[in-house]
Chains A and B, each alone.
Chain A
């Protein structure tokens, strides 16, 4: 389909021998450039963790480990208590995801279909938070969480995650497109509002729920400043905070191995859902 679309360079130019030569040269250069710029650093990290401490500090460096040491990885797992921190991250991300799905979906459904009093005002208030970048408010948010006694509690991640105007608006816009007749038909059959949401609206909203889920999980997994503030207790810290806290006094190979392990879940998620994620990002741009 897209092969037929005309782009900057015309197909006629490309068909000529000279055009074809230039095309394949550019293609090769771009492949090499991408491999060097984006894959090589990752390769360097994965192999760096497999080198011995002496080899990793040696100049000039070795391209391939002379000997593959896996104890960097096992040491990281044990010494840095990675199981604890990974588990904390999973709990924080999963909870934030669940809270967002329940509360944002319910609120978006109410704003879209149930015509609550002051609905316009509430929606305006929610959209206004889009103008207030989250990071600029971390300190007063921290004080509020402290007043509620939620420091060192995963609720400190879960509850603020619900206040996500972007995801809520995404859901509301999607619900707006569901024709009222469909919902009314269900109501005639005697379904209550909750029932309609559960068995009619949500099954129709799978694509947007997928997008919101991925955004929610990635946001928590990647976050650093907020968990750094609210989890002073080392045993409660997610992997991102633990990595930085422990990076000062740990052997380099062990740290690198821990970095690799910390990246695996998100990279795996990306490789599994790459089509959806890339399509989602591309679609986001054209819709604005």
Chain B
């Protein structure tokens, strides 16, 4: 990764101002000055990382074992926060919903973009148009997409039911029905995010050598066989990476349930991050919020570790 070649070529020595042969003390002073300068460049960024990344990670773990209210002294409570959160009926609902959401988003968010990319890669006209159009929803602020779909799902004059009526199909409760709400949110998230995935798959498809298809066709492989035996194996790495990234992203889903359903109906769309938000800002229970954060952190951290592992091995392999 870090390709800083540690060369000490002749010109590096020539850089030093030509003075009388410098005594060792002088050199040490200069090296100290170099270090001070290097750290002067680093300090701003480093402080921000320390305050807003490293410290919060440690603090989450500490507060998870405390009774904590801003402004008053913290109190150690052992694992009480974890047991309290664990016995909250919303806890089970939140995890079940988050996992279902992730799974559905993964299914829909993999199949749809992959097929779209496959088809787009075959089209020889209007390429720029397709790429711009498919990415357009990604640039619309997520809050706007959520509000837009909330309006589409409106049981009265919502576009979703109008479309069903137009096709003479039975209407649905969409985000207002306990058993359809989560799926409705997955549709919103997929609509809003698939553009990026499509573009990445397209790039991966373009790197497949044409000879492979040629050879497969000569061997009598049909279209679907070519997809199965050439396209998928050749893009396996990208597929795997995007799936992991998607898992990490969708497990942190918040905006859609918060804006569209408010976690309802009957807790059908409460997610883990939503519950964290509720504990902190509605119940004022920061200990509980941090206990939940730690659980989410461990799970997502594990996924991230796998992701980084894969990217690194992929880079070395390339």
Question: Which of A7, A239, A269 has a CB less than 8 Å from the CB of B213?
Answer: A7
User: Does B281 sit at the interface, judged by CB under 8 A?
Assistant: yes
Q: Tell me the total A-B contact number using a CB cutoff of 8 A.
A: 320
| Docked complex Cα distance between A137 and B93 (Å) | 21
With A131-B301, A131-B304 in contact, is A160–B38 under 8 Å at CB? no
* B41, A114: Cβ atoms closer than 8 Å: yes
| Docked complex Cα distance between A262 and B141 (Å) | 8
User: Does B22 sit at the interface, judged by CB under 8 A?
Assistant: no
What are the residues of chain B within 8 A of A6 when measuring CB–CB? Answer: 210-211, 213-214
Question: Which of B45, B60, B133, B297 has a CB less than 8 Å from the CB of A103?
Answer: B45
Which of B4, B126, B211, B226 has the most chain A CB atoms inside 10 A of its CB? B4
* A163, B7: Cβ atoms closer than 8 Å: no
- Classify the secondary structure of A's interface with B: helix
1/0 per residue, CB under 8 A from B, across A118-129: the answer is 010011011101
* A129, B54: Cβ atoms closer than 8 Å: yes
User: Does A168 sit at the interface, judged by CB under 8 A?
Assistant: yes
1/0 per residue, CB under 8 A from B, across A251-288: the answer is 01001100100110011011100100110011111101
A273 to chain B, nearest CB (A): 10
What are the residues of chain A within 8 A of B308 when measuring CB–CB? Answer: 127, 130-131
User: Does A141 sit at the interface, judged by CB under 8 A?
Assistant: yes
1/0 per residue, CB under 8 A from A, across B126-157: the answer is 10101111111101111110011001100011
User: Does B82 sit at the interface, judged by CB under 8 A?
Assistant: no
* B38, A116: Cβ atoms closer than 8 Å: yes
What are the residues of chain A within 8 A of B108 when measuring CB–CB? Answer: none
1/0 per residue, CB under 8 A from A, across B49-91: the answer is 1011111110110010000001000000000000000000000
User: Does A200 sit at the interface, judged by CB under 8 A?
Assistant: no
A-contacting residues of B (Cβ < 8 Å)? 1-5, 7, 11-12, 14-15, 34-35, 37-39, 41-42, 44-46, 48-49, 51-57, 59-60, 63, 70, 118-126, 128, 130-137, 139-144, 147-148, 151-152, 156-157, 159, 162, 165-166, 191, 196, 199-200, 202-207, 210-211, 213-214, 217, 223, 226-227, 231, 238, 241, 248, 251-252, 254-255, 258-259, 273, 276-277, 280-281, 286, 289-290, 293, 296-297, 300-301, 304-305, 308, 311, 314-315, 318
B-contacting residues of A (Cβ < 8 Å)? 2-3, 5-10, 23, 26-27, 30-31, 34-35, 37-39, 41-42, 44-45, 48, 56-61, 102-104, 106-117, 119, 122-123, 125-127, 129-133, 135-148, 159-160, 162-163, 165, 168, 173, 176-177, 180-181, 184, 187-188, 193, 197, 218, 221-222, 224-225, 229, 239-241, 243-244, 247, 252, 255-256, 259, 262-263, 266-267, 269-271, 274, 277-278, 281-286, 288
